[in-house]
Amino acid sequence: MSYKIIGQRITRNEDAQLLSGSALFLDDVHLPGMLHAAFLRSDYAHARIKSIDTSAAKQRSGVVAVYTAEDFGDYWHVGPLQVPPPLAIAGAKFNARPLPPIAKDKVRFSGEPLAVVIAESRYIAEDALADIIVDLEPLPAVTDLEKALQPDSPLVHEDLGTNLAADVQQEHGNYAEAAAKADVIIKRRFYIDRGASGAMENRGFIVDWDEKTQTMTCWSNCQAPIPLRNTIAANLGLAASQVRLITPFVGGGFGPKIMTSQADDVLLPWISMKLKRPIKWVEDRRENFLATTSERDQIHDVEIALTKDGRILGLKDVFYHNTGAYDPYGMTVPLNTQTHTTGSYDIPNFYTRVIMVFTNKMVVTPVRGAGRMYGVYVMERMIDIAAKELNIDPVELRLKNMIQPNQYPYKTGIIGQDFVENVLDSGNYPATLKKAVEIIGYEKFIKEEQPRLRAEGKKVGIGVVCFVEGTAVGPYEGARVNVDGSGKVTVVTGVSTQGQGHFTSFAQLAAEQLGVSVKDVRVITGDTGHFHWGAGTFASRGATVAGNAIYSAATKVRNKALQIASSVLEAPVEELELADGVVRIADVPNKFITLGELAMRANPTRGTIDPNMEPGLEATAFYGPPHGATGQGAVAMIVEVDPETYLVKIKRFVIAHDCGTVINPLILDGQIMGGVSMGIGNAFYERMVYDENGQLLNASLMDYLLPVSTDMPPKMELAYFSTPSPLNQLGAKGIGEAGAIPTPAAFASAVENALKDAGIEILESPLDPCRLWQLVQQKQ
Amino acid sequence: MKLEGEHVFNGPQADVWEMFYDPNVLASALPGTQSLTMIGKNEYEGKMFVRVGPVSGVFDGKLLISNEVPPESCTLTVDGKGAPGFVKGSGDVKFVAQADGTTLMKYEGEVQLGGTLASVGQRMIDSVAKSMIRQAFESLDKALQERIAARAEGRAAEYKPPSEAEFAAAVAKDMGKSVLQSQEARVIMYVVLALLIMGIIAYILSNLPK
Amino acid sequence: MSKLYPIKVNVNGTIYERDVDARMLLSDFIRHELRLTGTHVGCEHGVCGACTVLFDGKPVRSCLMFAVQANNHEVRTVEGLGDKDHLHPIQEAFREKHGLQCGFCTPGFLMTVTAFLEENPHPSREEIREAISGNICRCTGYEFIIDSVELAAQKLAAAEKA
């Protein structure tokens, strides 16, 4: 399929506003009479609430109200679950414990809200927090995944009688049989941790209840505006049509902004209705670390069964997953781990079991990669370890076991986060690996450069890994495309935008069908006042799922325009073309009619219309895939480890990637590179450090290290493949999380290779100079 | 976080032991203490203003003395909370009479921190804690001398706690000292000094009358 | 009611006279008093650089300053560079090279870069990489930002010649 505008590397529509500082972000919203909220949050990770005395806070000048759980009366409720339990998986055990908006009786993580202050300014609200006297009876905290399941462990939820949140087993083929036939069985334990999303803009929420019109307007920087709007309306007993939720420009999402039904969006609307005034809340960075979701640790016990010539017969992975104190987001993250372990490889027997555990930490929800990275990490490390044991080159071993281009659709037998079997739709996996290996000069490096540099005392190493990325999952998205009487084109869709260029890529999809300039297409995303059907921006699905709906809607508008023009210009549809904002007879450019005029003709204000026609040049369309589309790629990386400080410098970084049809290659590059920088952060710089009392010890950017420009490789080398997905008319797949998924595994592989003289084996992530030094010392 | 160390008091063991039961002495030893009252035989209750870098605020706390073997050893348990977070811990304290009439005090304990203090103040807690302890010992030393002198002179003892400004200055000085004590800092100082001297000599030489 | 202090600040060429609380941060003053919301707050503890403005020509973290410190001083924010219909060459370069995605950190980068290019009009890529290492971006991976600054330097040099 050859496109004129889709696939063009064009600059973005939204940039002029963003660059000039005139773009509206959440905290920029200013409403007359607006009050400010601040939350008092628990210092203890696990405690019983004995009393909360807000009287002094209420006395402070400028404080309008102070609420605790009791003050909300019957309105206080727990949940709902954001993601339903995995009932589609046979035998799945799931203990639902949705997140309370504010703690009642007990706190279960450090940062859990205890009280909310509403005041004339944010400064006064925060002052008042110090006036609140809280009497908490500390309880021993649960922080270790394995200890949490011991019979004598303190319980996060006493009524449950256990800290087990879920237990889900899935099997494809029969691992036990495969192991019996294997020549070699290798077992390892992995400890993998991730961290916060670190979006530059923290979370926030603004709500304005207008008593006179009985309507509520909310601003949120969430990734799921429509479900959130629906929940708010339902909570308050309002009709959905009484509540409008607007997402302005958002300063990065990366996952945690998908989590809703938290203190702010549950409590502040109720308070706004009570006080009849607009209320704003914006998180500060410390709150973000404590009380916004992030991803956390998993412990994997992995076993791989191979023949001695390197054919993988089976893989077994039993892992613990930390869900934090509650599990409102279901099993999305660990299910992604399960569906992304065997990844690019044709492994006929795979057993995976996740034991999800409650601990006294904030809830875990997806962070870019959303659980995929853990599966990729264990698989790629096991292959490297097997390669060493079998004395086979690690790239060779991968190619030997790869899914071949003629094996699609490849049914994995494992059910994923969308509750259907994960089926790999298309790709050319060997090609991406071979390309990455070729670009980095693998052979030459291993045979010539590495030995030479080592002889000079430089600890250089190379790592090569492959990964898959499940994207574009259902359920669906929708869009409306409209050409108005002046010829202006508007595209409206339910997903919200956090920097991934929707205002341009979506415009390209419409412009392709309507023959207008991309700059002339206005895109509105994430405003329930304009469009109220859809699920949200997650799982790298925006461009593909919403994109396909937009393309379909634009196609419908195109067809209608051609229909009307055909009768006006008295020419058959086949002879007409859309270009430059008009419909004209091809080869007779002076016989044309503008889109605006066509729109007016389609919407008369007098007379009669064809009973089958809908007015105007407007169409709505929806798209829901049968299952997700899977992107794939390979990463090759060369690092140098300083022999004294154990600081790691990335010398080269290559990523070869396949995400099907590309809408805008410039935006694609940005997404890949951004993902890689997050992956580098997760590999070496970022870690949320908790002590055994559940205290987060590094809740600031001073101590939680986000990578900066000097931590990046000198150049990110990208290679592109495009096997269109058969699942949708555009052939598109998602790409948003690709860079983040393989990088920690590649990093571990390259660093292990660099330190191969020390003979260490890296079975954990993240790494840091101290840890590397420790590993080397332990070996000596 | 672990806290351990020793200190030599310039006075007899019995006096040192008694000081710990005198709320006036204790209140003066830790600056920032706004109030300290004995609420039981071995229990104190008080308010203390604490600053660790950017984090500061008033703590409400309880101090319990237990496992007493007077005048040799006891266990101190502390439990404080406030806007900046919470502090919980306990430590064993031993007093050993020395041959020269001084008293060696040894302490070993474990303290848990939580809240803003733990999540933002991490970098500074170690050095601030050590500095506070050092300061406290200095104050206690002074108090001990005053107590001994007052008894000798047959008058009531007067304890003067250092002001918060003095305390903050002392903490800063301690932290500065620990920086200067590092190897590199010393090398840099010597190099700079050497260059300066060379520079002065060069200037003098170049300006000698021909 | 706490005491208010009268201050006079020159922001982007306009003199603003206001009465402020001693503890009002410069970032809050710019954003909420003056409603110049282009300057963003990412961490409020001086690490991310999103709040960077030029204070008497030098880049500073406005979240670590008080409004009263700006009394009788000159502040330049991103709104002083250009507007959406007339972008400054540095802004134009960022647009051409896709040096931004969500745009939240961007005003901070623009101000840092504005001061940097005044000081070093012909920087190498390495120098650019160092110069921007005090601003955090979570979206781009920095590569295209470096490309943008390179192009910006070229554009400014060309404008100089013209």
Q: Does C4 touch chain A (CB under 8 A)?
A: no
Q: Exposed, middle or buried: residue A37 (CB in 10 Å: 0-12, 13-18, 19+)?
A: buried
Q: What is the pLDDT of residue B195?
A: 76
CB contact under 8 A, A670 and C133: no
**CA angle (B41 as vertex; B40, B47 as ends), nearest 5:** 45
- Tokens at residue A95, please? 């203990």
Residue in chain A nearest C140 by alpha carbon: A674
Please say if the pLDDT value at position B189 is more than 90: no
Q: Which of A132, A721, A768 is nearest to A438 (CA)?
A: A721
Shortest alpha-carbon distance between residue C62 and chain A (Å): 15
Chain C residues closer than 8 Å to A501 by CB: 101
Could you say which DSSP state residue C122 is in? S
The chains found to touch C (3+ Cβ pairs under 8 angstroms) are: A
**d(C-alpha A290, C-alpha A107), whole Å:** 13
How do residues A57-67 score in pLDDT, each as one tens digit? 999 999 999 99
Do C100 and C156 fall within a single domain? yes
Shortest alpha-carbon distance between residue C93 and chain A (Å): 10
CB contact under 8 A, C84 and A20: yes
Do C76 and C8 fall within a single domain? yes
**CA angle (A490 as vertex; A487, A496 as ends), nearest 5:** 170
Nearest to B85 among A43, A700, A703 (CB): A43
How do residues C109-118 score in pLDDT, each as one tens digit? 999 999 999 9
The ipTM is 0.98
Q: Does C3 touch chain A (CB under 8 A)?
A: no
- What are φ and ψ of residue C19, in 5° steps? -110, 125
Average pLDDT over residues A703-711: 96
Residue B167's pLDDT band (cuts 50, 70, 90): low
Do C53 and C24 fall within a single domain? yes
Chain B residues closer than 8 Å to A702 by CB: 120, 123
Mean pLDDT lowest among A54-63, A160-169, B91-100? B91-100
Residue in chain A nearest B57 by alpha carbon: A130
Nearest to A28 among C37, C102, C137 (CB): C37
Average pLDDT over residues C12-24: 97
Please say if the pLDDT value at position B83 is more than 90: no
Who has greater pLDDT, A530 or B51? A530
> What H or E segment, with its residue span, contains residue A444?
helix A442-444
Average pLDDT over residues B37-54: 86
Q: Does A198 touch chain C (CB under 8 A)?
A: yes
Average pLDDT over residues A481-507: 96
Q: What's the number of domains chain C is made of?
A: 2
- Tokens at residue A104, please? 């009642």
CB A763 within 8 A of CB A189: yes
Mean pLDDT, chain C, rounded, equals 97
Do C67 and C93 fall within a single domain? no
Residue in chain B nearest A702 by alpha carbon: B120
Q: What is the pLDDT of residue B55?
A: 85
Q: What is the pLDDT of residue B159?
A: 67
**d(C-alpha A600, C-alpha A604), whole Å:** 6
Do C60 and C99 fall within a single domain? no
Average pLDDT over residues A231-253: 97
In A179-277, where do the E strands start and end? 184-192, 204-210, 215-220, 243-246
Chain B residues closer than 8 Å to A130 by CB: 57, 83
Q: What is the pLDDT of residue A562?
A: 96
How do residues A20-79 score in pLDDT, each as one tens digit? 999 999 999 999 999 999 999 999 999 999 999 999 999 999 999 999 999 999 999 997
Q: Does C33 touch chain A (CB under 8 A)?
A: no
Average pLDDT over residues A339-356: 97
Do C95 and C50 fall within a single domain? no
Who has greater pLDDT, A741 or B56? A741
**d(C-alpha A660, C-alpha A662), whole Å:** 6
How do residues B112-165 score in pLDDT, each as one tens digit? 889 988 888 777 888 888 888 888 888 888 888 888 888 888 887 776 665 656
Q: Which of A555, A587, A585, A586 is nearest to A570 (CA)?
A: A585
Enumerate long-range contacts of A596-601, CB under 8 Å, 24 or more apart: A596/A483, A596/A484, A596/A485, A596/A486, A596/A487, A596/A488, A597/A487, A598/A483, A598/A561, A598/A564, A598/A565, A598/A568, A599/A483, A599/A484, A599/A485, A599/A487, A600/A485, A601/A564, A601/A568
Please say if the pLDDT value at position A384 is more than 90: yes
CB contact under 8 A, A710 and C129: yes
Q: Which of A480, A524, A473 is nearest to A502 (CA)?
A: A524
Strand pairing of C74-76 and C4-11? parallel
**d(C-alpha A317, C-alpha C125), whole Å:** 45
SS3 assignment, position A75? helix
Please say if the pLDDT value at position B168 is more than 80: no
Mean pLDDT, chain A, rounded, equals 96
Shortest alpha-carbon distance between residue A276 and chain B (Å): 31
**CA angle (A658 as vertex; C149, C144 as ends), nearest 5:** 5
Residues 6+ apart with CB under 8 A from A504: A10, A11, A12, A13, A14, A518, A523, A664, A667
Residue owning tokens 């002076």: A590
**d(C-alpha A368, C-alpha A490), whole Å:** 30
Instruction: Using the 3D structure, point to which of C57, C80, C103 is the last residue of a domain.
Output: C80
**d(C-alpha A172, C-alpha A352), whole Å:** 9
Domains defined for chain A, CATH in brackets: 34-139+202-250+256-291 (3.90.1170.50), 298-473+626-779 (3.30.365.10), 474-623 (3.30.365.10)
Q: Does A32 touch chain C (CB under 8 A)?
A: no
Q: What is the pLDDT of residue B165?
A: 62
Please say if the pLDDT value at position A417 is more than 90: yes
SS3 assignment, position A241? helix
Q: What is the pLDDT of residue B149?
A: 87
Q: What is the pLDDT of residue B160?
A: 64
**d(C-alpha C64, C-alpha A702), whole Å:** 14
Stretch 52-71 of chain C: residues touching chain A, C-beta under 8 Å: none
Shortest alpha-carbon distance between residue B20 and chain A (Å): 28
In C24-71, where do the E strands start and end? 52-55, 58-61
Per-residue burial over A336-372, b = 16 or more CB atoms within 10 Å of its CB, e = otherwise = bbbbbbbbbbebbbbbbbbbbbbbbbbbbbbbbbbbb
**d(C-alpha A769, C-alpha A191), whole Å:** 17
Report CA torsion sign: C46, C47, C48, C49.
Answer: positive
Q: What is the pLDDT of residue A70?
A: 96
Could you say which DSSP state residue A137 is in? E
CB contact under 8 A, A701 and C47: yes
Q: Tell me the residue range of the domain where C105 lies.
A: 89-161
Instruction: Using the 3D structure, point to which of C63, C80, C97 is the last residue of a domain.
Output: C80
Q: What is the pLDDT of residue A215?
A: 98
CATH of the domain at C150: 1.10.150.120
Residue B179's pLDDT band (cuts 50, 70, 90): low
Q: Which of A429, A410, A417 is nearest to A375 (CA)?
A: A417
CB contact under 8 A, B115 and A43: yes
Do C76 and C93 fall within a single domain? no
Q: What is the pLDDT of residue B182?
A: 57
- The CATH topology of domain B2-162 is Alpha-D-Glucose-1,6-Bisphosphate; Chain A, domain 4 (3.30.530)
Q: Does A201 touch chain C (CB under 8 A)?
A: yes
Q: What is the pLDDT of residue B181?
A: 61
CB contact under 8 A, A703 and B123: yes
Residue in chain A nearest B79 by alpha carbon: A138
Cβ count within 10 A of residue C86? 11
Please say if the pLDDT value at position B12 is more than 90: no
CB A251 within 8 A of CB A25: yes
CB A291 within 8 A of CB A113: yes
Q: Can you give the residue ranges of every domain in chain B?
A: 2-162, 163-210
Please report the number of interchain residue pairs, chain A to chain C, with beta-carbon separation below 8 angstroms.
184
Strand pairing of A764-765 and A716-721? unpaired
CB A683 within 8 A of CB A766: yes
Do C18 and C66 fall within a single domain? yes
Please report the number of interchain residue pairs, chain A to chain B, with beta-carbon separation below 8 angstroms.
45
Cβ count within 10 A of residue A594? 17
Average pLDDT over residues A547-570: 95
Cβ count within 10 A of residue A590? 6
Residue in chain C nearest A19 by alpha carbon: C91
Q: What is the pLDDT of residue B163?
A: 62
Stretch 688-747 of chain A: residues touching chain C, C-beta under 8 Å: 700-702, 706, 708-710, 712, 715-716, 739
CATH of the domain at C47: 3.10.20.30
Helix, strand, coil in percent for chain C, rounding step 5: 40, 20, 40
